[in-house]
Amino acid sequence: MSRWMGVIERYREFLSVSEKTPVITLNEGNTPLVKADNLARIINPDLEIYLKYEGLNPTGSFKDRGMTMALSKAREAGSRAVICASTGNTSASASAFAARAGIDCFVLIPEGKIALGKLSQAMVHGARVLQVKGNFDDALRLVREISAEHPVTLVNSVNPYRIEGQTTAAFEVCDALDGPPDCHVLPVGNAGNITAYWRGYRTYREQGVIDRLPVMLGFQAAGAAPIVLGHPVEKPETLATAIRIGNPASWKQAVAARDESGGLIESVTDEEIVEAYRMLASAEGIFCEPASAATVAGVRKLQERGYFRKGQRLVLTLTGHGLKDPDLAIRVSSPAHTVEAEKDAVLKVLGL
């Protein structure tokens, strides 16, 4: 049978699982790698651009790759409850996989600063949702302390199984392209995903599946760019709430990925993010989160200063689905008209 069974079944040999591990899966992974020729025509026709559309995972973000591992290992260890801090997607994913595993889920989110779709996911899956009067960094500090003192498993990306699960995205990219891209472009928030991709590419090279490594290019939002600035940001601000983080947990690993690959981590403004977000939607028919669009904004910025070479192959990870945050889409798009239910009135508005 060739039914896709999720990332653990597909990449079991690279992951810390045994026959005894109960696999908690929503058949995550196997996401499309979409060739973005329209985008390339706009940015630079001499580039080959692919979009790894992680918004098509079961809970709408890349977090599901890590969460299948984290919850499977939590179940294997006999854990009764998991806990996480989140800007929204981690909590959406954790609560779905915890529901499937029959494990309690506690989530701490920054009050009023997560997209509504993500909040609705945690609630409908039955997680215990606490809105913290503080930001993501405060929430992460709290769940780290609580999980160290109480019998609850932490499922943020400081849990090593999370990063391990997320390496599978790099495997999928290489499998789909029969090799690595020249550059891999990612948004950077808590810095787990850039860490995971870099580890995935290195694993594939150590195993001889690929013979070279890509350059890692990471982008933070300008108002939440601690790695770019070289110091924590006390009050991070960006409309890309997914990456509104001032003190990333995997800071050192992200810097290592940047430096070992000969890449860079830079910032893009909220205006550049929104422009890229609309460009993806209107030119490619792809609806992603604003945080995900930081990749396209970043590539445009590097292109302007002549960073890329002719014929280079780029993969951009679009980390989450645009439907998570429909408010923003409506806010930045032209408004819908209201008309009388009469043909003439409709034709007039349509200009036909």
Binding site for ligand F0G (CB under 6 A): 61, 63, 86-90, 157, 187-193, 242-243, 289, 291-292, 319-320
Q: What is the DSSP letter of 337?
A: P
Cα-based torsion angle of the residue sequence 55, 242, 153, 67 in order, rounded to the nearest 10 degrees: 10
Name which of 44 and 236 has its Cβ closer to ligand F0G: 236
Smallest distance, ligand F0G to C-beta of residue 163, A: 9
CB of 111 within 8 A of CB of 83? no
Q: How far is the CB of 165 from ligand F0G (least distance, A)?
A: 12
Indicate the pairing of strand 81-85 with strand 48-53.
Answer: unpaired
Considering the complex, what minimum distance in angstroms separates the CB of residue 156 from ligand F0G? Answer: 8
Distances from the Cα of 125 to the Cα of 79, 96, 289, 294, angstroms: 18, 6, 21, 29
Q: Which is nearer to ligand F0G, 89 or 147 (CB)?
A: 89
Q: Shortest Cβ distance from residue 120 to ligand F0G (Å)? A: 14
- The tokens for 169 are 């995205």
Nearer to ligand F0G, 61 or 159 (CB): 61
What CA dihedral angle connects 226, 122, 169 and 12, to 10 degrees? 130
Which of 75/118 has CB closer to ligand F0G?
118
Q: Which is nearer to ligand F0G, 188 or 302 (CB)?
A: 188
Half-sphere exposure of 116 (CA within 13 A, CB side): 6
CB of 67 to ligand F0G, least distance (A): 10
